[in-house]
Structure 1
Amino acid sequence: MPQASPQPIDLPFLQGGGECGEIIRETDWSKTPLGTPESWEPALKIALGVLLSSPFPMHITWGAEFIQFYNDGYRPILGSNKHPQAMGIPIWESFSEIWDTIGPIFHGVMEGQAVRFKDFKFILNRNGYSEECYFNFTCSPVKDETGNIRGIVTNVIETTDKVRAFIDNKRAKLELEVVQAETASQRDRFAQFFMQAPAAICILTGPDYRYELVNPLYQQFFPGRDLLGKPLTEAIPELVGQPLMGIIENVYRTGELYEGRELYVPMARKADGIIEERYFNFIYQPRPGPGGKVDGIFVFAIEMTDTVLARRKIEASANLFRMQLNAIPNIAWTNKLDGEVDFYNQQWYNYTGLDEKQFNGREWGSIIYPDDLDYCLDSFQCILKGTTGGEYEIRERRADGEYRWHLVRILPIKNEQGALQSWIGTATDIHDLKMLAAQKDDFICIASHELKTPVTSLKSSLQLLDRMKEQPSPVMLPKLIAQANRSVEKIGSLIEELLDASKLNQNQLNMVKKTFKVSEMLKSCCNHVRAAAKHELIFQGDLELTVFADEHRIDQVVVNFVNNAVKYAPESKNIYLMVKKMGRYVKVSVKDNGPGISPDKIPHLFNKYYRAEYTGAQYSGLGLGLYISAEIIHRHDGEIGVDSKLGKGSTFWFTLPLSS
């Protein structure tokens, strides 16, 4: 069969046709002598339209090459060996074993000789072995608009079962004639054979299907019921109106053998018993009487109820298992023993955004981050070689295009005897955990660096002081002591931030609230900024407003805001501290006239460990100040935020409830 084209063909005359129609549409016909479907001649298009819309088995060969088309009705004739590869290739390739027989027939039809055959015998190899098959078929030429023969349409019905049934029936008729000619003792031996047969057998006689013979195994289907000599519907009245009766009537009327598999027949076992859900494999073989007319039916039956119900239980268990997988929040799937995925839960489709109906399970590799694919395949194959399962970490693409880290676990599913049946896999999103771990690693490096600088400075100051302790220098001594004090203050500030962050994590950051005037708190804080005399703190707003809060913690927030203004807006000489009443709240703001903050940084300013950059320079600090400030305000039932535009300064603010 020619390889499939990249996109399915969408032409009106190729619509429908079930499985075979889909194969025709997806076949790359440009690689065949016929060319692309758009270029096909009208006669072929019309013939294909008829073929795809017909439920009758049809087959078309086209051109001198005898290129094949067929519909779903014809497909069973090809068995498992010839379909779907037969589509689009010459018929002599598909049916090479009988081409010597049908080749002359097809060449004759191409010359205008239509043919018809009944119960024609072929020896076909269509299921991996040679078998005797029979067919009724006609072959008719297909002409184009100029009358030239361009192809052949074949209408075919396989009569193998009918011929075999006829042969069997003929054989049974001969056997019956022999039996009828035998003595009574021979008839007794024949009856005895049925009675001792290892299958459930009965004989139904006449148009009321009266039980003429019932062997012990058949009687076991209906313990306690009196069957022999009674009409079928009298012995088993619950059969009235059931499809089974229509089948029996058809066999009796037409003389055609019927074979049914796992046929549903609701029946009671005992006459007064409960109607049960029962399933049987049946063979109804007509018995010819004098003159060849059917006068009875041989019934061969095997009850399949336990098998059917057991299979349904397994299927129900599998469906329940899949429902449970759909209920869990993780991505989950199951693999066959060879690793092929045979089920994805709904979370997989929700995460990937793939269409469940269109997704081919073999395309899962497209979801894996390219750099992780080889590692994923190697890890997966290594797990499949064992029996205990395993895990590995990879990145998988989300529906929005983001690749996120997942922990993949593959575990074995074993039966009660411990034999491996299949595999189950889960993928847990660990992206945020990995990012947090990376943040913590960065924080440790930052903290180490930030503490190292003041410790080194303090150590240096103490070493110099130690050297001059015998002869202290009146000039250097104050400078060294001041430098040592600054280093101690820096170390203390860093340690306090670390302790506050730790207390926040453990929910131990205590608040000692009281009523105080906001303006007095603002005037008493930030003395270190006033002492440096580089910036002027300007107070604005309602200076009489009071709040009920932890004054020390609120002071800590304001100092953090002011320190940031000094650090990131060094050229802004004026720093404004503003107080404003807003309904039941007080809004406190710290405003500078510095360079402002980039919009992409604003959403992250209050995140743990975040440190902003200013004109390419990274400032010192642990990235905890604003995070701690936000937690303090939130624990006061207030809000915190920042308003900033590049080139126009920044305003950090928070709100607190007014004191009642």
Structure 2
Amino acid sequence: MAATELVQRKLYIKLTSACVLGSMESASSTDAIVPDELAQVLLDIAPTGMMLMRPVYAAGDEAIIDIAFEYLNPVAQRKILLPARPTESLRTLYPGDEGLFAFYRAAYLSGERAEYESTREVAGLVFSYYLVVQRQGPRLVVSFTAATDNPIEAVAEELHASLTREQAARQRAERQQQDMHRLFEQAPVAISVLRGPQHVVELMNEANAMLLGSTRENLLGQPIMEVLPRLQGQGFDLVLQRVLQGEAMVFREVRVKLSRAHLGQSDCGYYHVTYQPWRAEDGEIVGAIAVATEVTEQVQTRQELERLNQELEARVQERTQQAHASRAEAERQRGRLAQLIAEAPAAICVLSGPDFVYELVNPRYQALFDNRTLVGQPLLTAVPEFADQPVWSDLRQVYETGCTHTAENKLVAVARPDGVLEKRYFNYIEQARHNEHGEIDGVFVFGFEVTEQVRAREQVQRLNEKLTAANQELCDANKQLVRTNIDLDNFIYTASHDLKAPITNIEGLLYLLKKALPAAGRSDELVASVLDRMHGSVERFTRTIAHLTDVTKLQSEFAQPAVTMLLANIVEDVRQDLLPQLTEAGAELEVDVDNCQPRVFSEKNLRSILYNLLSNALKYRHPSRPPQIRVTCAAEGDQLVLKVQDNGLGVNEWQQARLFQLFQRLHTHVEGSGLGLYMVKKIVENAGGTIEVQSQVNEGTTFTIRFPA
């Protein structure tokens, strides 16, 4: 800037300041400045920047801590990029320029005119500026101008334009975001965004919330499987896990159960659902995006098509009165009908004229006849295999009579690409089409292939027939088994009863024989040994007959009333009975049954089970170690599990298979009748329980009994 121009500007500043100061003399020292018209004009047309400022004091103190802006003229606004009345203070806007703040404070305190020259960086350029300051009452009047030839105004204007463009771009982005939000909300499909492995609902449009039978407020921010427990068990958690692994999945007509009765909607429906991984900017999968569309049921589809057909016919009739409007409406309806037909889950075609020329086929119908041209072809030309089938005669009847024909599970032979006829089953509806004069000019066909369902039903029927035959065989076998058991019980009872008298007579005769022998004979070692063996045989025979009698009583005793008892008490009674044998063998008996209370056995039967198992553990102990016997009982679900475990001789697999048979004795070095374990098994099974054995030779045996708690 030339020196002369600088002097002229300084002179103009002095004159302007004087005018401004003079016009503000009447203003109160505490009120905001309200310049008169002349002062306002001078401020606004001044070629230099003009500012009105005032000091800011500390609370309860006279110390100046900051400088506030009250008014900036247009030049000042443009030069320093601030509004006419900024809300920020000097130290807020320029926190690092303490020299400028000190200059203002000193000028205010002195009351004298002051000048200040410094530099400032704007948009990467350094500019010099010149300040003239004069206190007027409680305020400072400031005039400033650039002291160099750098185009600070141009830079400021460019910054302003840049800010304006940025604001416009931000507004466009906000509008785009609002448009996307409206698109998301108004989308005709249900859309949801689920985050993380818990499938938390991040976003969801109202259509999705209504489809799920809830409100968006109840779903947002919640794990979807927890807030909608009805979805659990339908496989959606597994699908979402696969999507989180990067797999996109598409389902058509998937059956879903929802809770929507409170909305007046069905709780069960069919949907087209698409799942897509949701990826962050770095490509990491953070969740899943789900899009669902409810599929109109087949009956509703047919009803909608009939309604649209009726509307179309009505529009055609109105065409004579409103030609142009009717034509436009008809075209719109045709478009809707074509779209609906194309997207319908049924196989649909329109046949025209007596030759049934294909006028329209939707994708599902076309898929039934791969690699064939249908549209524009007569039916028998395109699908000649229909000629001798009921589907052709049904079409002719509908065309001639106008009566709708419905078929279910109808067998239709369709030629494969190789020419081989394939048996397929369909549900279909054939309905007459009428022109504007009410005459039949074609046929609508709506079909649903049910081949898989029919074959599955036939398979189920065959299996049911086999099951019925098997049940009959099982029933006959059970009857035979019952008769055999009855005969066996009768035989055992008869045998035991008929043998009692002879064995009693033999026992009496032995007694008389022993009594009749002379003393010398009784003292003879051979005679005494023979008599003892004969008495032993009679005793064993008597014991066997008693056991056979007990076997016949099992069937009549198994249904005794259920009573509550403490198993520990019964085990203790059995232990007392076997105490001599336990002591003699040096056996260790461990019992852990305090928490079991059987309610299905009579005390007598339960005692018999424990006595047989414990006495067997003592009889068949291992000769090289003391017996260790353990009795435990624990609840498993709705059963009690009783176990008797020993470290005795054990049995092999062949012996285990025969362990519970009648009169089976697997060890002959001890006495026994072979009836004990047979009776234990019968008692357990009569009470609805089971008994198992696990054993290893020379290691021991474990009997496991399961019965209702």
Name the TM-score, length of structure 1 as normaliser: 0.30
In proportion to residue count, which structure has more helix? 2
Larger Rg: 2
Q: Which has the higher contact order (CA 8 A, sep 6+)?
A: 1
